[in-house]
Each structure stands twice: as structure tokens, then as C-alpha cells.
Amino acid sequence: MKTSIRNRLTALILAVCVSIIAIIWLTTTVFFKPMYHAASQAELSGILSKTVSTLNAHHGEMNQRVIDEISTFINYGVCIEISDEFGAGLVLMEGIGDACQLHGGKDTSERSNIYMDQRRLNTRQAQKMRQLVRENENYVGNLVDDYDNQQVLRGRFWDNKYTIIVSTNLARTDAVVRIVSSQLRTVTFIAIIMALIISAVMSNWFISPIMALSKATKEITKGNYKIKISPPDGPKDEFGQLAQDFNTMAKEIESTQEMQKELIAGISHDLRTPLTIIRGYAESIRDITGENPQIREQQLNTIIDETDRLSKMVNSVMEYAKLSNSALKLNIVQYNIADMCMDVADIYAHKAEKEGKTVTYSGPELVYVMADATLIERVLHNFVSNALIHTPENTQVIISVSVLENGKVRVSVKDSGEGISEEDQRHLFDKYYRSRKSSGKQGTGLGLAIVKTVMENHGFEYGVISEIGQGSEFWFVM
């Protein structure tokens, strides 16, 4: 069963929300008490150290000045007891507020008071703690009774002269945990409701451009290539960029479809003409001229020529399909491009002479390059054959090779034809494109498309320079 993006987004937001609430619950109900206990121990340890340091600074003398200084260390909820080596209480400073577990109740509600009350100093619990301190010298532990839990930290100092007990009441932690836990139930309920609302809003906001893209894609499959996507947030985010790319794709598909329609019309005519000629001459030989050797030979030669023309069309389509394959591997070798250009010029020289034209080479005799020689030769053939088609009588086609300043090699084929308009130049290397001036001439519209594929596979620059009435120069840089 497939899960929609909307449901997955909602589940993700809920999962994050529940995870955060679970962390808060764990921190409050499981880790709060230990963390609070550890913080209390650290606080008591600091007070104890400062008390010991104060007594050390005064050489163990206990007077009002020392008592006043130690009293500044007391925070709310802390009790300090200092007793002598016999357990007799000297001073009790308390900031707990309610009854101190260790020393019993007190009759005043003042925040910090100093007591010299032997009854309070000599409670059973206080005596037990003093004994533990004397035995362990540095004692850390908890004092528990039937009602509360008082955490205590104690230390012995100054040549066994005094015993110090520093303690604090932890009874409030249980109450805090209960209150927070009660509030968390309400917070959890509210958080889940808000998560559902936010997930619904965000999923609609997140899914809407995807739904628009899906709808537009369906329109494309129906043949509506004019469909456009306008994201609500504009082209600022990834969806906006995706919408722009989709619109560009739709425009390119529309252009390609128009080009294919022109191809079908053009190629149908190109195929129909030789097929009609072949059929006509074949029927003529069968019914009329079969006994006339001279006419029969002429008609058979025409059939052969038209068959060759059809074969060239099919070969061009197959060659383009092969070169357009993404898995095509180039056979890169080092060779003399000047030799290749001179050989191509020689190949077309005889044909050009029959048509009253010439094909010449201009350039150095030795220029080594690295490329797939077979494919580059195919490019040269396409350039020269096209140039001869568009070059009038008593003119020439020039194949040129020159070495540029950056070490690259420029190869060009220049004709003396009628030139190419700027509009045709933009589409000249597109598949199946044939300009209006070429519509009555032989060709499949794939020659320059093959050139484009070869150049792009090599990573070479290529193009055309042409003006109406000034001829054309097709070039590439190796």
C-alpha cells in the first residue's frame, strides 16, 4: 500500500513533536531528581570549602567576625553547623526556613539566624552525623526520615578541632516533579493538537506545487505543450526553479514536436519522390522499354541512383542514432589533420569539376591533433558535401586549417553560396532541420545534426559564420 507524501510529512512532524515531548518527560520525571541532587551536592561542597577556608584564615578562632563572614555563605535552604571535637555545638547558621531535619524546628522565620542552642545542636540525628564525620573525616551522604529526605555534606578540619556539617532540604523536589508532570499532560495534549494543525497546513503548502506539476505533466501527455506552472512563491525556492525548468522543458518539447511535424512532411516528400521514380521506371521497363537496351539502361541507372539516395537516407538516420547513443566510445588517436583535409579535397575534386566548381585546401602540411579520426572525417565530408550543394558554378569550396595562439587547431569549410539567415543559423545544427532554401535540394536534415553530436562528444567548439550573399563558413576548433 502506497503512502502519500502528505501522510509521511504529517507522520514526520508528529514524530518530531512526540520525540521532543518524550525528552521533556524523561528529563522531568527521570533525570530531574538526580540532576538536582548533584547540583545541591556541588553547592554544599562549595559552601563547605569556603567555610573551611575562612576558619583556616582566622587560625581556627571562633568569634563574631568569623561567624558573620561564614553567614554570608548561606543561601536559602542551607544549614551550617560548627561543633568542637567533643561534639559540643558552637554555632548553627540556618537559611532553610522551615524545620531543619538535622537540628529540629526553629522558632523564628528569619532567613538567616545564628543559634547557640544546645538542644537543637544535640539532636540524635546531629550527634550521629558528627560521629560519622569524625570516623570518615570527609563524609557525603543522605539523611532520611519518615517525612522528607535531607541531603547532607560534611567535612572535618583544623587538626581535629572542629566538625562542620553543611546540609540542605530536598523535600521540595518531589512536589516540583508532581506539579511539572501534571502540567506536562496538558502541554502534551496541546502540542499534539498543534502538530496536527501545523502538519496539515505545511503539507498543503508543500504538496500544492507537486500537485500542480503532476497536473501539468498529465497535460503534456495529452499533447498540451503550452501549459505553464506558476509557483505561489515565485522562482525563489527549489519548487520555483523546478517550475521554471518544467516550463523550459515544455517549450522545448513543443519546439521539437513542431520540428518533427516539419520532418514528417519533408521526409515523406523526400522518400516519396525516389520511390515514385523507381516504381515508374520499373513499370516502364516491364511494359514498354524492356526490348530497347539503350533506354532500358538509362532507366536502370536512374533506379540505381534513386536506390542509392534512399540508402543514404537510411544510413544517415542509423548513423545519427549510433552517434547519439550515450554509451558511444571515442577512439582517440594522434594524426595529421592536414593530410585528412587534403584527402577529402581530392575525393570531392572530381565531382566538383563535373559541376564547374573546385575544392581546394589551404593551410600547413603538418598539423597533429588528438581526436577520433573516423568521426572527424565524417564531419569534413558533411561540411564539404553541403558546401558543394550550395556553391554556384565557377566558384570554389576552401578547406582551411590554422593553428591558433592558444595551441588549438581551427578547421573550416567555406563556400561561395547564397548565405544563411540568422533565423536559420539558430536551428541549423538541430536534428531534421532544413532551411527553406534547402527544401528543394537533396538531403535528410541529419548531416549537421551528426556534426553537432560528434563535436559535443569530443567537447570541441563549432559553429557557422554566414551573411546573406556572402557565403558560409562552417568551422570547429580541436
Range of the domain at 238: 234-323
Do 446 and 358 share a domain, yes or no? yes
Pairing type for strands 149-157 and 138-144 reads antiparallel
Q: Which residue has the cell 524546628?
A: 105
Of 175, 196, 220, the position where a domain reaches its end is 175
Of 293, 323, 353, the position where a domain reaches its end is 323
Looking only at Cα atoms, what is the longest distance across the chain? 151
Do 304 and 336 share a domain, yes or no? no
Range from 86-90, 273-277, 383-387 carrying the lowest mean pLDDT: 86-90
Range from 149-153, 244-248, 334-338 carrying the lowest mean pLDDT: 149-153
Answer whether residue 209 is part of any domain.
no
Helices (H) and strands (E) in the chain — how many of each? 12, 13
Q: What is the mean pLDDT of residues 38-56?
A: 84
Whether the per-residue pLDDT at 448 is higher than 60: the answer is: yes
Per-position b or e across 70-85, b if 16+ CB within 10 A of its CB: bbebbeebbbbbbbee
Residues 33 and 44: their CA atoms lie apart, in Å, by 16
Q: Tell me, what's the pLDDT at 111?
A: 40
Answer whether residue 211 is part of any domain.
no
Do 253 and 348 share a domain, yes or no? no
Q: Tell me, what's the pLDDT at 433?
A: 62
Q: Tell me, what's the pLDDT at 284?
A: 79
Q: Give the CATH number, domain containing residue 47.
A: 3.30.450
pTM for the predicted model, two decimal places? 0.43
- Alpha-carbon dihedral sign for residues 91, 95, 99, 102: negative
Helices 293-323 & 447-458 angle (0-180, nearest 10): 30
Q: What is the mean pLDDT of residues 178-198?
A: 80
Q: What is the DSSP string of 281-304?
A: HHHHIIIIITT-HHHHHHHHHHHH
- Model confidence band, residue 438 (pLDDT cutoffs 50, 70, 90): low
Count other Cβ atoms within 10 Å, centred on residue 12. 13
Number of residues that make up the chain: 478
Do 338 and 313 share a domain, yes or no? no
The total of structural domains in the chain comes to 3
Cell output for 388: 558543394
Answer whether residue 217 is part of any domain.
no
Do 392 and 279 share a domain, yes or no? no
Q: At residue 330, what is the residue type? A: L
Q: Give the CATH number, domain containing residue 241.
A: 1.10.287.130
Most confident segment among 97-106, 212-221, 457-466: 457-466
- Model confidence band, residue 137 (pLDDT cutoffs 50, 70, 90): low
CA 383 remoteness from chain centre: 43
The closest alpha carbon to 330, from 475, 463, 462, 453, belongs to: 453
Of 323, 357, 389, the position where a domain reaches its end is 323
Provide Rg for the chain, Cα atoms: 49
Q: Tell me, what's the pLDDT at 119?
A: 53
Answer whether residue 287 is part of any domain.
yes
Do 36 and 146 share a domain, yes or no? yes
Answer whether residue 221 is part of any domain.
no
Whether the per-residue pLDDT at 1 is higher than 50: the answer is: no
Q: What is the mean pLDDT of residues 285-313?
A: 77
Which residues, other chains included, contact 60 with Cβ-Cβ below 8 Å and sequence gap of 6+?
Answer: 158, 159, 161, 162
Count other Cβ atoms within 10 Å, centred on residue 253. 13
Q: CA-CA-CA-CA torsion for 261, 433, 245, 326, nearest 10 degrees?
A: 110
Do 269 and 346 share a domain, yes or no? no
